Amino acid sequence: MLPPIHSFKTDPAPMTAIRNTDFSFTGQTAAYHGKVRDMYTIGDDLMVAVVSDRISAFDVVMPRGIPFKGQVLNGVASHFLDAVGDIVPTWNVATPDPNVTVGHKCEPIRLEMVIRGYLTGHAWRQYKAGHRTLCGAPMPEGMKEHDRFPEPIITPATKAEEGHDEDISPDDILARGIVSEELWAELVRVTRALFQRGTDMAAGQGLILVDTKYEFGLRNGVLTLIDEIHTPDSSRYFYADGYEARQSAGEPQKQLSKEFVREWLMSHDFMGLGGQTPPEMDDAFLATVTQRYVELYEKVTGKTFQGDSTADPHGRIAEAVEAWLSQRKS
């Protein structure tokens, strides 16, 4: 059983999820709608990221959103972005609303820097299928699911505009000219440093950071961390207490991640394959997912989650962003 959440309770349908946005902010010059985040360009130097309640799995956006999910993601990302500025510059400038981050506009690097400390999820599925390398990184013989790697492995993926991101090896990254050899070395160094910082912070909360992904861009030629960091959408956590005993007994690990959503989808015969339609998530399951996201927020950050359940979240967001933009000009 997962630990109960004492500070935040949800009804079966606690609020209307923020499924879509279509803002027109002062000074806005462009808009891009991603799987979860809607990005609004302000002038030529700022981005407003509105973190929706959409949830994706197997690179497919589900038909219904998860109430409060966007606030959880934005809050966790803000918590960790504030903690890694000594490792690498970040895009973060301000958080004017629980669903919004304003940041510097960067030229994105079309890679996801995935780093894995444990044989779990996609890595385990590949391992179980007989593969002993993933993106050129070796996976030793004799491992079982959720075992720790001798050292974390980096398994990058190309950042797709649509559809599935694809695994790619460092050799292919360099051969295709996605980044230079020098920039690749810097990406690897920073990725390992960020993962170590996240690992240390998780350990302080009784958690194991299992795997995660980072996205980067260039701002005035300087490598910059963009998007989210160490959130339940980009990361997987185990409870440290009892990890070794569960591994020895061959029992499932207690996880804090959205892997349980993937497992639920697979139990309903959905893996994002061609011709498959996502199953409908009912209100009770949505409430369960909300609770799991809130649990992760509180466990990872050590803070109490205070969800803003304003009846008109779109109006709240517009007002907060406009107020911040106006204050910035004055």
Pick the closest to residue 33 from 44, 45, 18 (CA basis): 18
Q: Are 2 and 289 in contact (CB under 8 A)?
A: no
In this predicted structure, what is the pLDDT of residue 301?
95
Total domains, the chain: 1
Q: Is residue 191 part of a domain?
A: yes
Cα atoms found within 13 Å of the Cα of residue 148, Cβ hemisphere only: 12
Which residue range(s) make up the domain with 128? Answer: 111-256
CATH number assigned to the domain comprising residue 156: 3.30.470.20
Q: Is residue 289 part of a domain?
A: no
In this predicted structure, what is the pLDDT of residue 16?
78
Q: Are 46 and 102 in contact (CB under 8 A)?
A: yes
Q: Is residue 55 part of a domain?
A: no
Q: Which two tokens stand for residue 19?
A: 């499924």
Report pTM: 0.88
* Cα–Cα distances in angstroms (integers) from residue 314 to residues 70, 247, 319, in the given order: 13, 45, 9
Give the containing element (helix H, strand E) for 325: helix 313-329
Task: Name 9's Cβ contacts closer than 8 Å, sequence gap at least 6.
Answer: none
Q: Are 68 and 307 in contact (CB under 8 A)?
A: yes
Q: Is residue 50 part of a domain?
A: no
Q: Are 215 and 157 in contact (CB under 8 A)?
A: no
In this predicted structure, what is the pLDDT of residue 164?
63
Pick the closest to residue 116 from 268, 286, 298, 257 (CA basis): 257
In this predicted structure, what is the pLDDT of residue 4?
36
Q: Is residue 276 part of a domain?
A: no
Pick the closest to residue 169 from 180, 183, 148, 154 (CA basis): 154
Q: Is residue 189 part of a domain?
A: yes
Q: Are 287 and 10 in contact (CB under 8 A)?
A: yes
In this predicted structure, what is the pLDDT of residue 329?
77
* Cα–Cα distances in angstroms (integers) from residue 58 to residues 61, 139, 261, 272, 279, in the given order: 8, 23, 10, 5, 13
Taking the chain (330 residues) in runs of 10, the rounded mean pLDDT of each run is 39 70 97 95 97 92 94 96 97 97 97 98 96 98 98 92 79 97 98 98 97 97 96 92 97 86 92 90 92 91 93 96 90
Looking at residue 94, the DSSP 8-state letter turns out to be E
Q: Is residue 53 part of a domain?
A: no
In this predicted structure, what is the pLDDT of residue 71?
97
If you write DSSP's letter for every residue of 168-226 in order, what string do you get?
A: --HHHHHHTTSS-HHHHHHHHHHHHHHHHHHHHHHHTTTEEEEEEEEEEEEETTEEEEE
Rounded to 5 degrees, φ, ψ at 230 are 60, 30
Q: Is residue 171 part of a domain?
A: yes
